Amino acid sequence: MTQEREGKYLFSEEYSYTPYYLVVREDDTEVKSRADLIGKRFIADPKTVAYRFIMEYIEENNLEGQIEIIASEAEPFMEIELGRADATFESIILFDHKCEKGDYHLKYVGECVGVEEHVFPFRLDADPKFLDEFNQHIRDMKEDGFLSELYMEYLGLDVSRPFEAYQ
């Protein structure tokens, strides 16, 4: 959910949370956290949460011009593997799959850099009663463990609770 969408849609309660981490080459010993990105090349598609996370980090820490941002739709893992970029952010859910599929030799380092919250959008004129019932079903599936079981079965990770709940 982005700020741009907040005024255009109504949203359900969160049904999953995806933690993101810093990704670098497997042999990179210099970059261990976001603080080590100064002077490095960071790649992300401007339409992704990874791009939003890096831009927020730069703004919050007054780092304009200190991290080279490669705004590209190219596959970040490939660009890092080829040495054209030094780092990106990726969800912990997709990391292993992308590495295996592309035969990339990468690793994630440091602490979680951000969490993407997943919600369902609804039209602004959606029936409030329907939205309340929809949200109740999400709460019920969380409380009875159904979402946890579903995520564990298909993702190998329970992302039904806010990420802080796992630390």
- For the chain, the domains span 10-15+118-166, 18-116
pLDDT band (50, 70, 90) for residue 1? low
Residue 92's pLDDT is: 87
pLDDT tens digits for range 94-109: 888 898 888 999 999 9
Look at domain 18-116 and name its CATH class: alpha beta
What is the biggest distance separating any 2 CA atoms in the chain, rounded to whole angstroms?
Answer: 54
The residue ranking higher by pLDDT, 133 or 4, is 133
